[in-house]
Structures are given as C-alpha cells and as structure tokens.
Structure 1
Amino acid sequence: MAEPSSVDSFEVERRTIDHIPETERHGKARNLFTIWFGSNIMLLTVATGTVATAVYGLPVWAALLSLVLGNVAGGVVMALHAAQGPQMGVPQMLQTRAQFGSFGSLLVVVLVVFMYVGFFASNMVLGGQAVASLFDAPETLSIVAIGLLSVAGAAVGYRLIHGLASIMSLVAGVTLALAFVWGLVVNGHPAGTLSAGEFTWLGFMGTLSLAALWQIAYAPYVSDYTRYMPRDTGVRPAFWATYGGAVLGSLFPMVLGALVGAAFPLADTVAGLGSFTSGIGTLVIAVFAVGIACTNSMNLYCGALSAITVGQTIFPRWVPRAGVRALVATVLFLSALVMALAGKDNFLVNFTNFMLLLLCVLVPWTAVNLVDYYAIRHGDYDIDSLFRRDGGVYGTYNPIAIACYFLGIAVQIPFLSTTLYTGPLAERIGGVDISWIVGLAVICPLYYLWMRRAGRLQVRTPVPVTEPALGGGEVA
C-alpha cells in the first residue's frame, strides 16, 4: 500500500486497539527512525541529562560515559519490541494478554497507564515553564496550553503523530546541533564546567539507570507505532531503525543537558539551557517546547489505547472508535494536570524518583514479554484469542507470568536506591542502584525455564485473523 501523503496525516484515525489488516498497512522502516529520533529531542530529555551533573554531581566525562552506556543497553530492550507490531498488527499492551491472560494482564496495563500519565505530567511541567519564560505568561496557564495541544494530537491519531515526528526530526535535529555550537563554540562554556563535579558510583549507576529506563519506558508502546507497518517489514530493519532513532535522539539531548547542568547547576533546566545557548536560547527553548507537545501526544495516544484495552477486557463486545480515544485522552490529560501542578516546584527530584520506581515495575514485564515472544512462541500468536474475554488459547490468567512479574519486583526492592527508599543491599554497595540489572538477570531465565517445565514451549499453528468485533466501523 502506498505511503500516506501529508494531507492524509490530518485524517482522524478511526481504529483504536483493533487488529490492523494487511490492506491498511503502510510505511517503511525509515519511518521508525524518524518517529523515535524526532520525538526524543525535547526538554524532558535534556532535563534527564541535567540530573547527571546537577543532581548527582558527576563530572562531565563520567556523565557522558554513563549516559552512553545506559542508552545503548536500554535501547536494545526497547527496540526488540519494535518487531512485534508489524508481525501482530495490534497495540503492545493488548499483546500482553498472550503472556498474562486476558484478566491477568490488567494489573500491568493499569500500571502502564499510570506511567503514561506520569510522563505526560513531567512533560507538561517543562513545556509550561518554557512557554512561561518565552512569553512571560502564567506558568499554570502555560502548562494547560501544552497539555491541550497534546490532546489534539492524540485525538487525530497515528498518522499525524508520525508526521509531526518526521518534521521534528529535521527541525529539532538542526536546532540541537546549533545548541552545541552556540554553547561550546560561540559562547564558550563557563570556566570550570568540564572540571566540576566528583565521580561517585552512586551517581554513575544512577545516571546509567535513568538513561536505560528512558529507553525501557518506551517498551510498553513501541508496537503501537509499528502495528500499521507491512508484515514483511522484517525484524532486523524494524529493530535497527527503532534502535538508531531512539538512542541517537535521546543521547545527544542528554549530553546537552549534562553540559547545561555542569555549567549552571543551580538553575532549572529551562533557564540553564537559555543561558548555555545565549543568543539563540529563545529559538532552542521554543523548538524543544514544541517537541514536548509532539511527544506528549505519543504518551497520551498510547495511554488512551492502554486504558481502552482495560475497558475492552471487561466489556469484550465494546467497539471503541476515535471519539472514545479522544474522550479517554482528555480524562488522562486532566489526571496528569493534577500531578503536574502538585509536583512542579521540586521537579528534578520528583522526576528522578518517579523514573527509578517505574523501572522496578517495568523490568519484569519486559523480561516476560520478550522471552515469550522470541524464545517461547517465536512470534506465533493467535490474534483472535487476544480479543476474547476468556483469553482463548491463552486463558484468563497465566500464573507463571504473574508469579514471575511479582518475583521480578521483589528481587529488585533490596537493590533500589532513591531518595524515597534505599534497599539494604543497595546500602551495602554504597547506594548504587542495580535493581533493573538484577531483575532482568533473574526473570528472563526463570520465565523461560518455568514455561519449559510446564510444557508451554510448543509453537502452535496460527489461527487466521478475522475482522470481527473490533475490525471496522466509522469514526465515532
């Protein structure tokens, strides 16, 4: 099928969580690069890099090394999910029913909705601060404005989000390059920027974990943006296009943030970035603020799909369309707005704690999902069963997956290290957080071996996909 034109990008997507038939598939692997590259160049990515030097107090060299390692490692986990979309043609959280069962998956899906709301709130705070600084507007009003723009993107849907990300890949990419030139060459960084800070394993591993989680946090919705891709897109092209776009698009803004944090450790992210790029600071902040609205559309869109997945599990005959997606997106926006206004005054610390705690609940899910897809089922799933209340061949609960999920959380708790809680084993190694590494190392082999012992490794013959309950209909 031909790729959509720019005019098609403004056509409201009528589908929500239903299977995408082959006749509606479009796009190429390069589209996966642009959506992840363009969507990551924004203020929240810069703020994540700022944490390394302004919060953890690392020297620039250590911050850069930990950011590279975290993005490279986390990007592998994230991009492995990309191939699932073209193969299955359904959203990521709907596919989770195949591992956990139709009702067993609800806990994970609800937690993922909370994650989307948290990211949306974080983005609204930074975007609102940026708009307020640019136009001398009230901060609360600016936060609301950023959120409403994102609601509009989520309401229109998939093609508009892909189109905006493609534009931002060019515009934000050029702006990012100019920010480095102005900060390092034209203005020259403040004296002591590159020599400031002190290396600690706590800061190094904390930064590495944040960077890895930045990538892993995309895992619950990578397939949402590949499910319209042709089935023959291929695992490797989907992986490398997603990996390259996500890692490069995240790493360079984080590096910029680390430099800003080292140069202006007492300033907030927006003010520090403006000072670092003095001369073009208004342009840089404006473009990165627009990037926030685009990325928040992605968060809200996927959050709406996940929330709809919960509803469809309970009411399997329900056929949600575009109108429902817009309504759910509005409700999630209002929830995120409350969270944003409550936590905006201590943003970086709140965001860091949120990310690290989020990692604890995401890691066991991604371990179960990837092992199931690549090592147990080899991408062979019965799509019709995913839409059945009784779970079809997957049942309502998979006790093995559920047990592995909770065990995955439990084994991480002693290794957690945040300002809210530090586990006993983390304290014994100097407060270094290696919880996510422990979680992956334990749950990946445990789930595989447990499923093998239960005799669930057989590859089944796929049932042809029909287009029943969730297969069509008009925009509503």
Structure 2
Amino acid sequence: MSEKHAVETRGIEPVPDSERHGRVRELFHTWFAANISVLLLTMGAGLIVFNGLNLWQVLLVALCAAVVSYGIVGLLTVSGKWGGAPAMTLSRSVFGTRGNLVPGAVTWVARFGWETVNAVTGAYALLSVLDLLFGIRSNTALIVVTLLLFVGTTFLVSGLGRNALLWCNRWSAYLFGIFSVLVLGYLVATVDWSAVFSRPSGTTAMVIAGIGTIAAGGLSWAPSGADFARYLPRGTRSRGIVGTAIGGAGVVVVPMVLMGAVMAVGTPDLATASDPVSFIGDLLPIWLAVPYLLIALVGMVLINSLSMYSAGFTAQTMGVKLPRAWAVSINAVISLVGGLLLMLVATSFYGSFITFLTILAVSFSAWIGVYGADMLRRYRGGRHRQGRTRYDEAALLDTTPRSAYWFKGGFCWQALTAWVLAIGTGLMFTRAALSPTDVWFAGPWADSWIGRNGLAWVVTIVVGALVYSLLPQASTGAVETEPEPEQPHALIPS
C-alpha cells in the first residue's frame, strides 16, 4: 500500500522498507491525541476527593505516572521499527503462533472495555453540548442516538487508517492545546487559590496508589505502540521514539490532571458524578464550555479511533478473516452495546471506570513484562551476534507447523507460563471496588503494603519479566534480518 492512498489497506503483514517513510515526530501528535480526554479531569478530581492529596502531590503523581507509563509504552513501541508489524503480530514470536491467541484474546477484550468507556464519555460530551446550547435534556432515546453517532464516527475514522489518523491527530493537538490554555487561564482568574493551597497533604500510600491509577491508562497503550511505529525506517533513533511517547502524553496528562484537581477543591461532587462531563458546563462560562467540550469530543473520537485501529490488527491476528477496516466493526458493535449498559444501567461511572482500570492494569502488565523481557533478550543478542535483533517476517505470518515461531505445538510454554504466573500474582495484590463499601474483587494480599499502595501492576510486570528471563529460552528456526545503522535524524520534535 502506498502512503499516498487515502484509505490504508495494509493489514498485519510487515511494512516493506520501500514504504517506511514515517517520521518520529508523528508519534508526538499520536500520543498527544491519545490523551485528549476529560476523564483525566475526573481522575485528577479523584486524587483530591478519594486519595486526599494536595495540589503538589497531584503534580508529583501526574508527572511520575506520565513518565513511567509512557516510558514503558515508548520502549515497547521500538519493536514496531524492528519488525514493521503490529505489536500483537510481533507477539507471535514470543508466545507462539497458537499461544499468542491467549494474551491476544485478553488484550482484545480489554480494548472492548476501554473503547466502551471512551464512547460513553464522548456521548456525555455531546449530550452536555446539546443541553448548554439548546436546553435539550438527556433521555434514553437521545443517549442511544448520541452513542450511535460517536461510535459510527469512530468506526469511519479508524477505518480510513494511518493517514487520516495522522492528519486528525495533528490538528486536534493544536486546537485542544489552545482551548486548554484558555480554560487554565479562566481557572487561574476565578479559583479560590487559598482553598487550593491550604489543603493538607495526603499519605505516601495514597500518592503511590494515585500514580498507579493514572499510569494504568497509559499502560493500556503498550500493546498498540508498535502499530503506530511500523512505518518508521529501521534506522530511526530509539530514544526519539521513547521521548515522543513521554513528551506527547505528558504535555496533556499533567495539566489535565492538575485542572481536575483544582476544579474538585470547589466542586468535590466532580469525582463522584454519574456523568463525568456535564460538570464542565457548571464550572465554565458557556462561551468557553461549549467549544472546549466540542474539541474534547473530537479528542475522544480520536482516542477510540486509535484504539479501534489497533483492535483491527488484533482481530486479524486472532484469525478474523476480514480486512482491517472492517475488522474494527466487531469492536464498534461491542462498544456500542457496552456503552448503553454503562449509561443506562451503571450507578457509578467513576467507580466502574476505576475498577476497570485496576483490572486492566494487571492484564496488560503481564504482557508488558514478558514482551519487554523478550525485547531485551533480542537487544542483548544483537549486541553479541552482530546486530541480529529483528524478527523473521515470513514466520510472523505463517501459522502452520512450518513456522519458525511454532515452538512446541504452536505454543511457547516459557512465555505463557510467565504470563499466567504474572497475572495470578498481580491479582493476589489487587483490590477492585465500585465504592469504598462495594468491593467487587479483593486478592488475599490486597491488604499488604504492595496492595494498599496500588503496586499490583508493578509486581505483575516484574514477575512476568523475571520468570520469562529465568526459564530456558525456546529455540526457533527464525531467520532474523540485519538492522541498518541508526541515523542521526528523527529526534524528539522541538
């Protein structure tokens, strides 16, 4: 597929060198757009209301969460330039052509949940705009229509593919940045700053737990990073890939979380609202609230489009015999149904959202640990074997016993063992609650120091990486390609 085509037709097959004309600065806009969500305001408010933190602690939480989560995302994104294929396709080289179906299925299901949450937030944003401009109150029929409109638009944008996403990401970043500055200026002029800065500090445990909560959203992009980097030339600087992930996400996450915290000082109900968006109309004047909500709505469309774009590859990797543009329809339908349930049935959006993030962090962290350890093994092997750090591109697409990534019966038991043990260990330290009194799930070690500090996701990554590294390496017949020397261009955009 030529990059000049309006609709991307390439699926999970590796991108040939002749078509690798991407630039690393495109990733900056991608990760910027991936975080244009008013949910960050709600999460910032939660740090004030539920975690009991002060503004300086919220700033620390936001900075650490952005650097840690998107640092991990950036490191795993490097595999995209190595193999030129989506992450869940490259994952076949780790888990085996059949074994990869197991973590692939979990990742696919997790995407359903994430896309549902974003679809609901987008629908609420549209409902809020209708209420502010025309006084139209929400009802069941209107909820169905707005959700259909949001999911349909998401399906269209994600179906168009890479070029459409890059164009939308760039312009939404500029617009959202401008209006966020306006909102920040309004808050600076109107907020009772004495109340903001007089808040007592929270406990260290709540700071650490807050980092985990905010970081969970970032970690959910780890299995997608390579999808956006597969058009980068092989010689692209890895440090630029990591830097754009941290910078593009951090420039949105930090101010948004801080703004939510500031808003919550005067409006603590923000953190517990069943509708996570309408409060913007109460806190901002209509001339600012409406355009800000519209731009945020565009951002949430893009977040879901990026997620569905990757979901199309995951579906193809799972064996769905549809072109990528149509494979995303499965996610679109499920997010529509899930969105209706969340908007019409769930009593607490924030509680449901945080519960989902908690479980999501564990499931993705297990894959991150194993996949990251495999990347490190390939990197180290390349240093000692004249740079042989790449993937066998033909074997990635071959799902028969002839594939170099067939391992034993189609399964790499070392990787699957590490993945299962990591998830099991992480859940032992996990507590998922819809509210302080409504505990949905609690592992036997949830009350330990690790559990109370919300570090189950860290334990999950460490266990997955350690177990995989310590087990004997599975042999393959892979023919790995020699890398080209890294070029001095493609650094973090100034």
Report the equivalent of 1:302.
310
Cα contact 2:124–2:278 (8 A) shared by 1: no
* Residues 12-69 of structure 1 deviation map (CA, whole Å, 9 limit, x = unaligned): 1111211111121222111111111133122233333233224434333322222221
- Once the two structures are overlaid, the 10-residue window that deviates more, 143-152 or 427-436, is 427-436
Name 1:95's counterpart in structure 2. Answer: 90
- How well do the aligned residues superpose, as a CA RMSD in angstroms? 2.5
Q: CA deviation at 1:192?
A: 2.7
Q: Is the 8 A contact 1:260 1:272 kept in 2?
A: no
Higher mean C-alpha displacement, 115-124 vs 65-74: 65-74
- In structure 2, distance between residues paired with 1:418 and 1:202: 16
After superposition, give the CA deviation of every residue in 1:211-239 in whole Å (9 maximum; x if it has no partner). 22222111100011111122222212222
DSSP 3-state at the match of 1:232: coil
1:38–1:173 CA contact under 8 A, matched in 2: no
Structure-2 residue corresponding to 1:468: none
1:260 aligns with 2:270: no
Label 1:455 to 1:295 Cα distance change in 2 as closer, same or farther (>3 A): closer
Q: Is the 8 A contact 1:78 1:222 kept in 2?
A: yes
User: Are 2:362 and 1:355 aligned?
Assistant: no
Aligned-pair CA distance for 1:202: 5.0
Partner of 1:174: 178
Query: Residue 266 of structure 1 aligns to a residue in which SS?
Result: helix
In structure 1, distance between residues paired with 2:49 and 2:147? 24
Q: Distance in 1 between matches of 2:461 and 2:34?
A: 27
Question: Does residue 270 of the first structure (1) align with residue 277 of the second (2)?
Answer: yes
- Structure 1 equivalent of residue 44 of structure 2: 49
Partner of residue 227, structure 1: 230
1:389 partnered with 2:399: yes
SS of the counterpart of 2:218? helix
Distance 1:205 1:96, change over 3 A: same
Secondary structure at 1:427 match in 2: coil
C-alpha change, 1:120 and 1:154, in structure 2 (3 Å) is same
Distance of 1:44 and 1:53 partners within structure 2 = 15
Q: Which residue of 1 aligns with 2:161?
A: 157
Q: Distance in 1 between matches of 2:283 and 2:63?
A: 22
- Partner Cα separation in structure 1 for residue 196 and residue 162 of structure 2: 42
The 1-side partners of 2:51 and 2:193 are apart by 19
Does the CA contact (< 8 Å) of 2:58 and 2:257 recur in 1?
no
**Mapped contact 1:39–1:168 kept (Cα < 8 A):** no
| Aligned match of 1:184 | 188
Deviation at 1:434, TM superposition (A): 1.2
Tell me whether 266-275 or 163-172 shows the greater mean CA deviation.
266-275
Q: Is the 8 A contact 1:59 1:262 kept in 2?
A: no
Q: Pick from 289, 301, 314: which aligns with 1:293? A: 301
SS at the partner of 2:454? coil
Aligned with 2:443 (options 423, 433, 446): 423
In 2, distance between residues paired with 1:270 and 1:191?
Answer: 26
User: Is structure 2 residue 28 aligned with structure 1 residue 33?
Assistant: yes
Counterpart in the other structure of 1:329: 328
| CA offset digits 1:291-320 (Å, max 9, x no partner) | 1011111111111210111016xxxxx6x4
Q: How does 1:14-33 map to 2 (within 5 A)?
A: 14-33=9-28
TM-score under structure 2 length normalisation: 0.84
Q: Is contact 2:74-2:243 (8 Å) kept? A: yes
Corresponding residue SS for 1:83: helix
Give the aligned residue type for 2:340: L
Structure-2 separation of matches of 1:155 and 1:205 = 39
Runs of 4+ residues over 6 Å off in structure 1: none
Change in CA separation of 1:62 and 1:424 when aligned onto 2, cut-off 3 Å: farther
Once residues 197 and 446 of structure 1 are traced to their aligned partners in structure 2, the CA distance between those partners, rounded to angstroms, is 42
Question: 1:445 aligned to 463, 466, 472, which one?
Answer: 466
Letter in 1 for 2:399: R
Q: How many residues align?
A: 447
Q: Which consecutive residues of structure 2, in runs of 5 or more, have no partner in the other structure?
A: 137-141, 383-388, 434-439, 484-494
Q: C-alpha distance in 1, partners of 2:288/2:34?
A: 21
Q: 1:309 & 1:460 partners in 2: Cα distance?
A: 19
Q: Which has the larger displacement, 297-306 or 37-46? A: 37-46
- Counterpart check, 1:140 vs 2:150: no
Which one is further off, 141-150 or 419-428?
A: 419-428
Residue 483 (structure 2) pairs with residue 462 (structure 1): no
Alpha-carbon distance between aligned partners in 1 of 2:462 and 2:162, rounded to the nearest angstrom: 35
1:97–1:104 contact (8 Å) kept in structure 2: yes
**1:354, 1:23 → 2: CA distance?**
41
Task: Select the residue among 417, 422, 432 that pairs with 1:403.
Answer: 417
| Structure-1 separation of matches of 2:310 and 2:168 | 16
TM-superposed deviation, 1:461: 4.9
Distance in 2, matches of 1:205 and 1:364, equals: 20
Q: Distance in 1 between matches of 2:428 and 2:204?
A: 17
Rounded to whole Å, the distance in 2 between the matches of 1:146 and 1:347 is 18
Is the contact between residue 83 and residue 234 of structure 1 (CA under 8 Å) also seen in structure 2? no
Instruction: Pick closer, same or farther for the CA change 1:235–1:174 going to 2, 3 Å.
Output: same
TM-score under structure 1 normalisation? 0.87
Contact 2:62–2:253 under 8 Å retained in 1: no
Asked whether the 8 Å contact 1:60–1:195 carries over to 2, the reply is: no
Aligned to 2:373: 371
Larger CA deviation: 53-62 vs 335-344: 53-62
SS class of match (2:376): helix
Percent identity of the aligned residues?
A: 23
CA contact (8 A) 1:380 1:459 kept: no
Q: 1:403/1:303 Cα in 2 relative to 1: closer, same or farther (>3 Å)?
A: same
Q: 2:353 & 2:196 partners in 1: Cα distance?
A: 24
AA aligned opposite 1:357: I
Is contact 1:22-1:230 (8 Å) kept?
A: yes
CA contact (8 A) 1:90 1:224 kept: yes
Q: What's the CA shift string for 1:73-100, capped at 9, x where partnerless?
A: 1122111012111221100100110000
Question: Equivalents in 1 of 2:338, 2:197: separation in Å?
Answer: 35
